Amino acid sequence: MKPAREHLRSYIAPNAWQGSTLKVDETEAHHLVNVLRARVGERVEVFDGAGRTGFAEVAAITKRGAELRLLEQNFQPRPVHEFILVQALPREATMDFIVQKSVELGASAIYPVLSERCIVRLTPDQYAEKSARWQRIALNAARQSHAAWLLHIADVQLLEKFFQTLEKPDYWFVGSLAAHALPLRDALAAARAQTPRRAAALIGPEGDFTPEEYRAAEAAGAVPVTFGTNVLRSDTAAFYALSALRYELADR
C-alpha cells in the first residue's frame, strides 16, 4: 500500500458505509481523484459528518465514482456544547467566509436570516438554494479542518419568522451598540453559572438591526452585548462571538 498523505480526506455519506465497502459518489470522487489526486492503493481518512471517522484504501476508481475499502473506523461523540450562529445576511462573499470560519471555530449550526437592512435580497424560492450552497462550503471546510461533525445550515428565513419559531437556546445574546448593552465578558461570566450546553449569538448585517429588531430580539430572550468600543464588521463580529463562546463555555 502506498504511504498515506495527510491531506487526503473524504466525506462518505452515512448511508454509503456498507460493511467494509465505502461507496464514493460522483461529486466526492471528483474531489478525491481530480483535486486531491488520490490513486488506487492510497490510504484516505474518511468521515460521515455524524461522528464516524476512519481510514480506508482506494480500491477502485471509475467514471461515476470510486470505491474504498474500510481499514479502521472510530466514533467521536457529538460535542457537549453546541454553539449556534444566527447571522443576518451580509454580502455573498462575506457569508461564504463566515460559513467557512464557523466550521473551523466549532459552530454546530448557522441560521441565516433576512433583516430589514440586509443588502442581500432573496426571493423565497432562493432560500433553500442558498442554504444548500453554504452547506457545500461547510462540507469543504470540514474536510480541511478535520471536523467529525458537519455544521448544519438552516434554510434562510425572515428574522421575524425566526423569532416566532425559535427553539430557545439555554443562553443567547445579540451583538449591540446600545448604551445598555453588557460587555461580552461580563455577560458570558454570568452565563457560565448557568452551565449552558446550547448557546447562540445573533449578529446583524452591514447596516445593523433596526431598533424594532433589537427590541424583538430582547423580547425573545437575547441578551444585548457589546464587543468593545470599536465597531466590528459583520464577519468579524461573528468570529469574535463564536470564539468567545467557545473559550468561555466549552474550553473551560
Structure confidence by residue, pLDDT tens digits, 88-120: 999 999 999 999 999 999 999 999 999 999 998
DSSP state of 248: I
Q: How far apart are CA 78 and CA 84, in angstroms?
A: 14
Among candidate residues 75, 92, 113, the one where a domain is terminated: 75
Q: What CATH number does residue 217 fall under?
A: 3.40.1280.10
In this predicted structure, what is the pLDDT of residue 1?
47
151 assigned to some structural domain: yes
Looking at the domain assignment, is residue 25 inside a domain? yes
Rounded Cα distance between 205 and 235, Å, is: 9
Give me the percent of the chain exceeding a pLDDT of 70: 96
Q: Are both 36 and 121 inside the same structural domain?
A: no
Dihedral sign of CA atoms 147, 153, 159, 161 in order: negative
**Per-residue cell: 40:** 488506487
Nearest partner of 202 among 186, 215, 192, judged by Cα: 215
* 63 in a structural domain: yes
Shared-domain flag, residues 159 and 228: yes
- 111 and 174 fall within a common domain: yes
Which of 169, 223, 160 lies closest to 196, judged by CA?
A: 169
Residues 147 and 200 in one domain: yes
pTM as predicted: 0.90
Q: What's the distance, CA 172 to chain centroid?
A: 17
- Would you say residue 1 lies in a domain? no
Pairing of strands 152-153, 9-11: unpaired
Do 136 and 206 belong to one domain?
yes
User: pLDDT for 146-169, tens place per residue?
Assistant: 999 999 999 999 999 999 988 889
pLDDT surpasses 60 at 187: yes
Which residues span the domain enclosing 99? 82-250
Q: Whole-angstrom Cα distance, residue 98 to residue 157?
A: 17
Alpha-carbon span 120 to 180, nearest angstrom: 29
Residue 3 falls inside a structural domain: no
Confidence band of 6 (pLDDT split at 50, 70, 90): low
For residues 22 and 55, membership in a common domain is answered with yes
Residues 117 and 61 in one domain: no
Q: Do 175 and 100 belong to one domain?
A: yes
Query: What's the number of domains the chain is made of?
Result: 2
Last residue within a domain, chosen from 17, 50, 75: 75
pLDDT at 3 over 70: no
Q: Looking at the structure, do residues 173 and 233 belong to the same domain, yes or no?
A: yes
110 touches 153 (CB < 8 A): yes
- Are both 173 and 240 inside the same structural domain? yes
Q: For the domain that residue 61 is a member of, what is the CATH number?
A: 2.40.240.20
51 within a domain of the structure (yes/no): yes
Residue 18 lies in a domain: yes
Cβ distance 234 to 204 under 8 Å?
Answer: yes
**CB of 111 within 8 A of CB of 95?**
no
SS3 content of the chain, % helix, strand, coil (to 5): 35, 30, 35
Nearest CA-CA partner of 233 in 214, 200, 206, 201: 206
pLDDT in tens, 17-58: 888 989 888 888 888 888 888 889 999 999 999 999 999 999
The answer to whether residue 4 is domain-embedded is no
